[in-house]
Structure 1
């Protein structure tokens, strides 16, 4: 009993670093890397010869740049999270004479809107070789529940940002085959906060981690076996992220500090960002109409559990483990591009974005479920050298239910259940210019 109770702070704060980091393509992995690609729901994204922003999924597509090209994109993500039927009970310190706490209190919308930028630069070296640089945010999340809501011991505030800088090279083998590769440097930081049950009043814990630099790579091939038919395959590698940080406690009673070890401590976490395989086809149906198809496989099964290590020299808190049970998933999309006029191109698309989450093991930090996209977009030619791209995504999710019984890994957080309804509206605007 005592060993489990000592985990009150540790496991509470470690609700899901990797969930927050979004080991879920249907969750907070950032797919909005290009206003052009978003217009067709990413359909054809590893095969398209439209502009250099598609190089995120396939570095071989940098070879399409015949002039020095700069693409700047900004995506505004406006999510909405509705909760109902929330209830929670926590009696984890009752064995020490502490209180039993129960609540049905709801929270205001915990989701937070964000602007996610991406930048691409391509420089042709000669007729066959192009080098490129890109800056992206592959993963991001920002959520903030009310501090007094029913699930406060499971989650209050979560923030994460993973920034990736890529150096790429693409080579035109012949008239119908391009190949490419990139090296990526990643820098990730995260903050996890939660209330911590205490004797007289709740304390609070904040866990902050960051890494120096982690590295990944990508490769790709793009082919046009016949005019109007384009095929592309891109692969982004796993990235091992080794993070260090500190857990800070506030408003904790002396009793909690003595019996539970809720004192400030150094912490570490070793996480793995998954691989991404993208298969795409673009087919020109007429001179003005193009069909795009994409299937993307994200290798979330590389992460089955989360381990948070606490420095034994500074705290008696035991290390914590959170089981995730993720599985590999596929994303499917289809889209159409229509050349309305010489200056205006229109796009639309539909996508099914499957979640890797175990429906019996969802977290309040990321109650993921399968999603669907409906998209619109277009390109307007401002001049011969400059284009403006725009897109809109309406994202809906299947209903999700978080149901924690307060045993095992949740012994310190207590029981919690709630029904979630998640949706989002995503707007993107980009400028592409050549020099």
Structure 2
């Protein structure tokens, strides 16, 4: 049996995320259609609809009666690698630059909130906090380090909120998260040629989230929110077709594997204020603890406890995300939104690998809300991500080659949301 530790899965997940509209690393911010138009500024304080269950469960005290919210986010990522001095693995041709390794993705959210008492509220949210996919051409020059990387997650988040008094609201939630990760790459077999290796595993992990909102004045409130880390132990297998030197038919190696995966904790501070009858201001700072990801290491679990492949030190950093948004109340039924955000990447240029080529990004967001009826509200949001070029100089010769060059990319996100009170 083989075992690969959390940083390897981090590589899988981040390479799947690095050119999409997300927080730093491989986290997904797309948990609300209404928040998209503000680049999720003020998310822990605004409490506009039941999607607050994810951002700050205390916000449920600001929502009247029962509410059902559904959202769908359509994401198109684009990414290209520009070769600037790469060298091939031993005995192998260099290969192409990989083509456009972005993709389309569709991320859903679903939330339900109801009153238990006048002060106590219950809600449940279902979303996708980590995920998406990237895939290089199979003959690209970095194929011995990465070809396809994919992550799927589902997070189920039941929550409670308590209105302490007219100023304070508190919230708590529990997260049950399913994750499935898949990693494929080429393997250099020397005189036997090359083969494809696919690692795949899944598991459930558990965590919690806490929140509080302080209503400082009738027009201004502040929110703080904490989401814990989620530890998972993925189990699956690794498969690799190969042909023996004696020319016998191709066989497939199938070995059970497991993987320890820790998803990082976050802490957010948000503010929301009615400036006047037409304008609202939203701000947010979110901290993510990426520094717990220290190295990429694969261990063989056959009793030998030996390392498979090189151990790569990752040097991840804790990062902040900053955002600011404005709402314009055009009429009693229409609200227009805009927002800007800056995401700091967790990885320095000197430690970037082909599986982790992300970089700092800027969000520019627009959106609108339409109160179609007293019970029904529709939201639309759009974001374009400007992603800073990411340089790489990762030397894993002789077996995996040298990857040297620059990544360029961008992302576009369109979100639609429906909210119904009953």
Given the two structures, how large is their TM-score scaled by the length of structure 1? 0.89
Alignment of 1:20 onto 2:20: no
Q: What whole-Å deviation, never above 9, does each CA across 1:221-261 have from its counterpart, x for those lacking one? A: 0111111101000000011111122111113544999xxxx
Aligned to 1:429: 416
> Aligned pair count?
411
Q: 2:57 aligns with which of 53, 56, 59?
A: 59
Q: What whole-Å deviation, never above 9, does each CA across 1:25-76 have from its counterpart, x for those lacking one? A: 3243110111111111111110003112122121111222221100101111
Q: Aligned partners of 1:120, 1:10: CA distance in 2, in Å?
A: 36
Q: Aligned partners of 2:257, 2:310: CA distance in 1, in Å?
A: 11
Whether contact under 8 Å (1:39, 1:391) holds in the other structure is: yes
Q: Aligned partners of 1:252, 1:286: CA distance in 2, in Å?
A: 73
Q: How far is 1:16 from its partner?
A: 3.6
Q: Aligned partners of 2:231, 2:320: CA distance in 1, in Å?
A: 22
Aligned to 1:175: 166
Aligned to 2:272: 282
Structure 1 gap ranges (5+): 1-8, 93-99
CA 1:318–1:104 in structure 2 vs 1: closer, same or farther (change >3 Å)?
A: closer
Q: 1:142 aligns with which of 113, 125, 133?
A: 133
Aligned to 1:328: 318
Alignment of 1:385 onto 2:383: no
Q: Aligned partners of 2:231, 2:306: CA distance in 1, in Å?
A: 28
Q: How far is 1:368 from its partner?
A: 0.9
Q: How far is 1:313 from its partner?
A: 6.5
Alignment of 1:369 onto 2:359: yes
Aligned to 1:42: 40
Aligned-residue CA RMSD (Å): 2.5
Q: Aligned partners of 1:155, 1:236: CA distance in 2, in Å?
A: 31
Q: Aligned partners of 1:366, 1:255: CA distance in 2, in Å?
A: 38
Q: How far is 1:317 from its partner?
A: 7.1
CA 1:317–1:328 in structure 2 vs 1: closer, same or farther (change >3 Å)?
A: closer
CA 1:412–1:386 in structure 2 vs 1: closer, same or farther (change >3 Å)?
A: same
Residues 149-160 of structure 1: matches in 2 within 5 Å? Answer: 149-160=140-151
Aligned to 2:115: 124
Instruction: Indicate the SS of the match to 2:121.
Output: strand
Aligned to 1:249: 240
Q: What whole-Å deviation, never above 9, does each CA across 1:180-236 have from its counterpart, x for those lacking one? A: 00011011110000111132432111011111x210000000111111101000000
Whether contact under 8 Å (1:89, 1:103) holds in the other structure is: yes
Aligned to 1:95: none
Alignment of 1:162 onto 2:153: yes
Q: 1:202 aligns with which of 182, 194, 197?
A: 194
Whether contact under 8 Å (1:266, 1:310) holds in the other structure is: no
